Structure formats: structure tokens, C-alpha cells
Amino acid sequence: MSLNSQHCTACSSKDGKPPPLSKNEIEAIISDSTLCPSWTVDEDQGRIRRKFVAKNFKAAIKWINQVADIAEDEGHHPDLHVTDYRVVEIVIQTQSIQALTKNDFILAAKTDQVRVDYSPKWLRENAHVKAGIIHNS
């Protein structure tokens, strides 16, 4: 089952016990999943992150608001940042255990489905990015 079709399990603050992932489990999820390759793993800090440049401030905030809705639905909340009025960064970790769990990758996969109005220049320079790109057939 794909990550974006799964749901986050309750964390310890909600009487759940999501187990931390091992380095091998993290590598397996990344290699087997459809996560955008722009995600980076910060194993020392137990988190994943993705950064991009939106077309403008309004596009950045629109994306953040849509991600906020997903986070609320999943009960798993990332850190979201906008700097320089359109540079967006999302940082995900299971804060209750300060480590990566499957929940983090489920949320990442779901945010990858949210349409992004990227800066055209940034997208040209980052052609490997596939998150949030809607292809019209």
C-alpha cells in the first residue's frame, strides 16, 4: 500500500506508541516509495525536510494552508516555515520521541500530493522535483 493512502497512527501524546524507524527501515522506505527526491533525511536530528521556492508569497501560503489541513486530518503536525517571502521549508518528525516514524513518511507523501506553484526559475534548476506538479493529460 502506498504511503499517501495510509493514515498516521496516534503518537504518545494521544496514547499511541509509534516505534522509531531504524536506519535500514528509513533507507527502505525512501528507496521503495514515491517520495519526491527533494526530501532529505537528518538522521542526527530524527527528521526529514524539504525546501522549495514558490512563485510568490500567496502561492507559498496557499500550499502551507493545504498542508495544515492534511496535518490536522492526520493528527501529525510538521514545522512549516516561509522565509524571504516565498522560500518554503517543511520539517517533519515525531516530536514525542524525537525520532523518525512511519507517520513522518506518510505525512511527507501526502504533502507531496499538494499542488505547488513553484518559481519557474527554481523549478528549472531543480528538474528532479516531482512533488506538487500536476500533469494535465
Higher pLDDT, 7 or 70: 70
* 62, pLDDT greater than 60: yes
DSSP 73-130: HHT---EEEEETTTEEEEEE-BTTTTB--HHHHHHHHHHHTS---B-HHHHHHTTT--
Give the burial string for 81-104 (b: 16+ CB within 10 Å, else e).
Answer: eeeeebebebbbbbbeeebbbbbb
User: For cell 518559481, what's the residue?
Assistant: 119
Share of the chain above pLDDT 70, in %: 93
Q: What is the pLDDT of residue 12?
A: 58
Residue found under cell 501524546: 13
* pLDDT for the residue numbered 13: 57
User: Domain boundaries in the chain?
Assistant: 11-125
* Placement of cell 524525537 in the chain: 98
Q: Residue 65: in which H helix or E strand, if any?
A: helix 57-74
Q: Output the CA–CA distances (angstroms, integers) from residue 19 to 47, 71, 91, 94, in the order listed.
A: 14, 19, 19, 10
Grid coordinates in use for 120? 519557474
Helix (H) or strand (E) holding 58: helix 57-74
Task: For 11-125, give the CATH class.
Answer: alpha beta
pLDDT band at 34 (very low <50, low <70, confident <90, very high): confident
**Strands lying side by side in the sheet with 79-83:** 40-42, 47-53, 87-92, 79-83
- Which whole number is the average pLDDT over 9-32? 81
Query: In the prediction, which pLDDT does 136 show?
Result: 45
